[in-house]
């Protein structure tokens, strides 16, 4: 039986990694990219599968079609369309879900294809459900690490994308047709599973990760600085604010316990000292490279948290201060 016909929107590290697994499972893959990226897609991609123990395994992704126009997309029939873009890439610079977007031209061209969303901002789902029925939407959480390799100081040849799927961390997906996505990934050897509702995990995970990365950036990307007194206090304050916002002021007991453990001296010391020993790459260098690349997404998400906090009447002084430090012109009033 022929595999699903899948369009990957965006050919960055995440898009290439998902495409590799999907193609390996028998899916027919096409990339939809800007014309300036077409030549790279047509040449194929070199990937490096990283492992906690052992040498990286070289992988190759070839044979995917490359599309650069809406007309080319409309000329094909699609089963799934994966939006492998950051929040800012998805919105095309639009702040409000209802504002016109490049996506308004793409969606009519894909027929009734399933749409897979991987974006973490609080308003991203509203951005999509303004444009297509929830019956066609599957949401997911990226649990693997993927980046443009080599990182500074890293020895990986040829240049390409390095990726690693941590053990015991399957990619969760939810939605009426999530089984189609999970099946396609599992056939290619990816770790994936269906869950009842992934949105809570996405919201809480982002509420911990993104504000922490904002503090880390202001501290020069030093994990040890985050684990020490002033840095730790800032992380504790900022994740408490963001977690309360995503819980609409009512974080549950498990969430409160998780945050207390994470932002404790022990929790952040483990993050700063143990986690780098478990990654087959320089964690600080990766975090600097990746979150600098998606820095506009970090700033948009901080602004979103502040906007929701104001609407809910919740504290957000630490979030606003971090945004002001990273991007003074974008800081909302507190």
Closest C-alpha among 234, 238, 228, 230 to residue 269: 228
Both 215 and 164 in a single domain?
no
Helix ranges (DSSP H) in the chain:
13-24, 38-43, 70-74, 87-91, 103-109, 124-129, 178-187, 199-218, 223-227, 229-246, 253-262, 265-273, 275-278, 283-293, 295-312, 317-326
> Which residue, of 142, 168, 195, is where some domain finishes?
195
Both 149 and 249 in a single domain?
no
Provide the domain count of the chain.
2
Cβ atoms of 179 and 194 closer than 8 Å? yes
Both 179 and 39 in a single domain?
yes
Both 115 and 36 in a single domain?
yes
Q: How many CB atoms lie within 10 A of CB 28?
A: 18
How far is the C-alpha of 233 from the C-alpha of 263, rounded, in Å?
Answer: 8
How far is the C-alpha of 224 from the C-alpha of 179, rounded, in Å?
Answer: 41
> Which residue, of 180, 195, 210, is where some domain finishes?
195
Both 226 and 96 in a single domain?
no
Both 176 and 230 in a single domain?
no
* Residue 49: CATH number of its domain: 3.40.50.720
How far is the C-alpha of 71 from the C-alpha of 73, rounded, in Å?
Answer: 5
CA 229 to chain centre: 29
**Residue span of the structural domain in which 182 resides:** 5-195
Both 31 and 96 in a single domain?
yes
> Which residue, of 178, 195, 212, is where some domain finishes?
195
How far is the C-alpha of 8 from the C-alpha of 234, rounded, in Å?
Answer: 38
Both 52 and 190 in a single domain?
yes
* pLDDT of the chain, 334 residues: tens digit per residue: 689 999 999 999 999 999 999 999 999 999 999 999 999 999 999 999 999 889 999 999 999 999 999 999 999 999 999 999 999 999 886 556 677 789 999 999 999 999 999 999 999 999 999 999 999 999 999 999 999 999 999 999 999 999 999 999 999 999 999 999 999 999 999 999 999 999 999 999 999 999 999 999 999 999 999 999 899 999 999 999 999 999 998 888 888 888 889 989 899 999 999 999 999 999 999 999 999 999 999 999 999 999 999 999 999 999 999 999 998 876 454 4
Both 156 and 226 in a single domain?
no
- Whether the full predicted model's pTM is greater than 0.85, yes or no, is yes
Both 112 and 173 in a single domain?
yes
Q: Which two tokens stand for residue 296?
A: 């506009």
Both 190 and 220 in a single domain?
no
């Amino acid at each position: 039986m022929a595999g699903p016909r899948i369009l990957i929107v965006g050919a960055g590290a995440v898009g290439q990694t998902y495409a590799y697994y999907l193609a390996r499972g028998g899916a027919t893959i096409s990339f939809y990219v800007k014309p300036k990226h077409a030549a790279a897609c047509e040449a194929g991609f070199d990937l490096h599968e990283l492992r906690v123990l052992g040498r990286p395994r070289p992988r190759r992704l070839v044979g995917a079609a490359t599309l650069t126009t809406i007309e080319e997309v409309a000329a094909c029939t699609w089963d799934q369309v994966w939006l492998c873009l950051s929040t800012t890439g998805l919105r095309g610079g639009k702040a409000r879900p209802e504002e016109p977007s490049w996506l308004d031209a793409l969606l009519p061209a894909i027929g009734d294809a399933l749409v897979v969303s991987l974006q973490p901002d609080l308003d991203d789902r509203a951005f999509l459900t303004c444009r297509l029925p929830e019956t066609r939407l599957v949401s997911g959480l990226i649990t693997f690490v993927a980046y443009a390799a080599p990182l500074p100081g890293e020895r990986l040849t040829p240049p390409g994308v390095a990726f690693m799927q941590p053990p015991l961390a399957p990619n969760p997906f939810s939605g009426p047709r999530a089984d189609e996505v999970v099946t396609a990934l599992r056939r290619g050897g990816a770790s994936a599973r269906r869950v009842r509702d992934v949105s809570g995990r996405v919201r809480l995970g982002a509420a911990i990760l993104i504000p922490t990365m904002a503090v880390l950036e202001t501290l020069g990307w030093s994990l040890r600085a985050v684990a020490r007194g002033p840095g730790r206090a800032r992380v504790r304050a900022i994740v408490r604010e963001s977690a309360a916002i995503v819980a609409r002021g009512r974080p549950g007991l498990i969430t409160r316990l998780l945050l207390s453990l994470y932002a404790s001296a022990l929790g952040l010391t483990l993050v700063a000292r143990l986690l780098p020993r478990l990654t087959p790459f320089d964690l600080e260098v990766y975090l600097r490279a990746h979150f600098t690349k998606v820095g506009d997404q970090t700033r948009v998400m901080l602004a979103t948290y502040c906007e929701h906090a104001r609407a809910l009447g919740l504290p957000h002084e630490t979030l606003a201060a971090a945004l002001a430090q990273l991007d003074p012109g974008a800081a909302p009033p507190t």
